Structure 1
């Protein structure tokens, strides 16, 4: 339960400022405190005065029937409230292109430099910056678009303010609703945006823009590494593999020498053809590569919450795929050792359902700054035990759609799926010549270095803005 701070009690005139809202959110979430602090600044302007475009530059969109396709020629990437937080956008759902480009929905195409704000759902109020590589994406009606007017304000500076603790308090203070939270465009048009000299705003903008370009480089690097992987192992046709364009798995027969499994999914022809193709080139099984390393899920444990200064951030399956995690903080001393991982461990989401947009069977690489975090038991910890097969090389394969489809075919369980341990160990992994392996691994490593550098620059931009606001407010 949240209570008002005794050092900053709720005042009666705050009720009038909020249109006599009687729910507690805007009063104890820091929204009014941030607003009163910003009022002490010498120069602030309403958000609506520095935006331009459709509906004045602050808009979401109409509810509409979504038709999803898989053919890139006839579809466009579609960003929802969860997808806007993703670091890797290659697995985005795809909206039918004829609908997206129609007069009714064409304005939902996002533009680099926009700020996206989730405006519906339990986590309404999250913010994300539209990177340079997102210009071909459309966004859902559950996402507010804030389009800065380039004549009035720099896009990176505006995003930095909305992302800061001051912007977060103001945006989240605009949320209304009980079970399903909402923010409407008119709720944030009057948010006070602090203005500073052109030099400071320009520096903050440049840091945010450079951060966005580095995240685009991270994305491009991973895509290039996966393409290089299949080219180098002699399977270039898998770069253009389209699962849904293959013949469906209907009416097939199998014969096995031993009862490995009784589930038809584990012998589905589409996945079997992929496995046979991987096994047709030089390689090794996943079990052999991970001998001496790790190939198992984590230990179950009870979470003991801790203060951030004495704990570690715990990352679960959903947030592992975000640009920046928001996991809870727990006591590492009260948890098993395997919550902390070795460099270049691959985490494969190991529990879930078969929804096309679910993270089950998707993979992430733990390296760089993300080694500081802890990870839940709901991942397969995949760590190479062979120094000639680095984790960064393996990740170029495991992030592919081919690996995703094969992993799902290895599933066992009822509602919640897991992997058949023997079938997982027997999964064939193509091995490129040593020089190619080293090059692919380096491409992946550089991509993650770009990602870490992007986070540092974004944090620096926020620190500059926060210091300027606090100094100006006295």
Structure 2
């Protein structure tokens, strides 16, 4: 049982809160630790131009970018791929307080609280949900990159979430974090942290740009043109289809159309250009505090894949089959279908669930194979294989049939090289951001008596 002796002035600072859980949470305990700071303390409101949330608005979704603004939810902001295909109408949307700019800090204020990101050039022109608090640094006493690293640290997150309210769904509001304590670290230390965050942000932009260019090269080489779906499907086609599928949505999907287009060109099946395509079996999960990090499909899609779940090394059977290797291509195969990740050195050696398929290139360049599988072409084909009603699924035997176009060797080599640069930039970006956060946490830990 946790106990703590509360001082009278703490009630005034907390807004006269009487619930014991508030005073025993990470935020108030961090405030106590910050009293040992050898540096001056300021408030978040003093170190920012503005702290605000977006307007609540009726979302009118549209299909095309020229008629809408790209739209981001609080869960989308954590993903490595920001563009989720959602657009809200330019005609029916008031963009006031919804559009964000680079070098801002966004933090989730509803549901899962305190998830924080630092915006880069990719965020420009996005409309962002009102469920995110916008923090605009003023860069006077506190560098914006340092402020982000501090707020993302375990100490900053505790402070951000300490004033949560609500029963089933927790919330925080901008005015709750205005008085959040900020230690004014020495400028040289701040510059070091700020540079690491700036480098990380720029590397992420470069990685996104390289991936986009590789997909464009692939599209130009493939020369795919959308055709008209016919209204009928022959019995011969149905009988020759994988598992003799009968549902109309399979034959009339764009994924099936792309599938047929690629098959009519020079191509190879994925089973012929990869090692075994597999996913681990179902197993009993023994979670421990110190073990091997364990990812589900949602975690591997994050810009920084992290999970609080750790598997026991001693008690987990077939642990090696759960581990992921560098240059493997991971494909989500349950619930959300076809999201693809190239394993870099940061992910290598960690473990992933049975809802993630593993692919390793053989006889074809890894980068080119990933470029195709992560493109809209590969995604739509994989999604066309989906079966099941409540929870969509695909299996290894579906993925084995994925047709991979074979372009001119020089084109495939160029795409491969770009993807390898993409992988390196992603790894460096993650390493630099985590280094910055760890430096801030270690410095604060040294103050404790």
Are residue 271 (structure 1) and residue 248 (structure 2) matched? Answer: no
2: distance between equivalents of 1:461 and 1:85?
Answer: 18
SS in 1 for 2:134: strand
Q: How does 1:213-228 map to 2 (within 5 A)?
A: 213-228=202-217
Determine if contact 1:214/1:451 at 8 Å carries over to the other structure: yes
SS in 2 for 1:314: strand
Are residue 254 (structure 1) and residue 234 (structure 2) matched? Answer: yes
Which residue in 2 is equivalent to 1:370?
A: 347
SS in 1 for 2:62: coil
1: distance between equivalents of 2:184 and 2:396?
Answer: 58
Unaligned runs of 5+ in 2: none
Q: TM-score, normalised by structure 2?
A: 0.91
Are residue 136 (structure 1) and residue 125 (structure 2) matched? Answer: yes
408-417 vs 336-345, which moves further:
336-345
Determine if contact 1:79/1:92 at 8 Å carries over to the other structure: no
Are residue 50 (structure 1) and residue 47 (structure 2) matched? Answer: yes
Q: For residues 436-467 of structure 1, what are the alpha-carbon distances to aligned partners after superposition, in whole Å with 9 as ceiling and x for unaligned?
A: 32322221121121111112211222233234
Which residue in 2 is equivalent to 1:382?
A: 359
Q: Structure 1 335/221 Cα, relative in aligned 2: closer, same or farther at 3 Å?
A: farther
Which residue in 1 is equivalent to 2:199?
A: 210
Which residue in 2 is equivalent to 1:326?
A: 306
Q: Structure 1 389/210 Cα, relative in aligned 2: closer, same or farther at 3 Å?
A: same
2: distance between equivalents of 1:288 and 1:319?
Answer: 29
Residue in structure 1 matching 2:413, options 438, 460, 467: 438
Residue in structure 1 matching 2:329, options 346, 351, 363: 346
2: distance between equivalents of 1:221 and 1:179?
Answer: 42
1: distance between equivalents of 2:393 and 2:375?
Answer: 19
Q: Structure 1 272/196 Cα, relative in aligned 2: closer, same or farther at 3 Å?
A: closer
Determine if contact 1:120/1:182 at 8 Å carries over to the other structure: yes
Q: Structure 1 329/393 Cα, relative in aligned 2: closer, same or farther at 3 Å?
A: same
Are residue 32 (structure 1) and residue 9 (structure 2) matched? Answer: no
SS in 2 for 1:368: coil
14-23 vs 138-147, which moves further:
14-23
Q: CA deviation at 1:126?
A: 0.8
Are residue 22 (structure 1) and residue 15 (structure 2) matched? Answer: no
Which residue in 1 is equivalent to 2:136?
A: 147
Q: CA deviation at 1:16?
A: 4.5
Q: Structure 1 464/381 Cα, relative in aligned 2: closer, same or farther at 3 Å?
A: closer
1: distance between equivalents of 2:441 and 2:369?
Answer: 41
Q: Structure 1 25/116 Cα, relative in aligned 2: closer, same or farther at 3 Å?
A: farther
Q: CA deviation at 1:277?
A: 1.5
Q: CA deviation at 1:363?
A: 1.2
Q: For residues 304-360 of structure 1, what are the alpha-carbon distances to aligned partners after superposition, in whole Å with 9 as ceiling and x for unaligned?
A: 01222xx111100111100123321111441323211232211111111xxxxxx32
2: distance between equivalents of 1:212 and 1:301?
Answer: 38
Corresponding pairs, count: 440
Q: For residues 226-252 of structure 1, what are the alpha-carbon distances to aligned partners after superposition, in whole Å with 9 as ceiling and x for unaligned?
A: 222233xx32446xx7xxxx76x6843
Q: CA deviation at 1:99?
A: 4.2
Determine if contact 1:83/1:92 at 8 Å carries over to the other structure: no
Residue in structure 1 matching 2:422, options 444, 447, 453: 447
Q: CA deviation at 1:472?
A: 5.4
Which residue in 1 is equivalent to 2:108?
A: 118
Which residue in 2 is equivalent to 1:355?
A: none
Residue in structure 2 matching 1:287, options 249, 266, 271: 271
Which residue in 2 is equivalent to 1:160?
A: 149
Q: Structure 1 424/45 Cα, relative in aligned 2: closer, same or farther at 3 Å?
A: same
Q: For residues 385-427 of structure 1, what are the alpha-carbon distances to aligned partners after superposition, in whole Å with 9 as ceiling and x for unaligned?
A: x2x3133221101111222222121111121111265553322
9-18 vs 60-69, which moves further:
9-18
SS in 1 for 2:393: strand
Q: Structure 1 403/471 Cα, relative in aligned 2: closer, same or farther at 3 Å?
A: same
Residue in structure 2 matching 1:306, options 271, 288, 291: 288
Determine if contact 2:328/2:359 at 8 Å carries over to the other structure: yes
Determine if contact 1:412/1:420 at 8 Å carries over to the other structure: no
2: distance between equivalents of 1:24 and 1:251?
Answer: 65
Unaligned runs of 5+ in 1: 353-358
Determine if contact 2:277/2:396 at 8 Å carries over to the other structure: no
Q: CA deviation at 1:12?
A: 4.6
Are residue 403 (structure 1) and residue 378 (structure 2) matched? Answer: yes
Determine if contact 1:89/1:219 at 8 Å carries over to the other structure: no
State the Cα RMSD in Å.
2.2
Which residue in 1 is equivalent to 2:57?
A: 64
2: distance between equivalents of 1:67 and 1:314?
Answer: 37
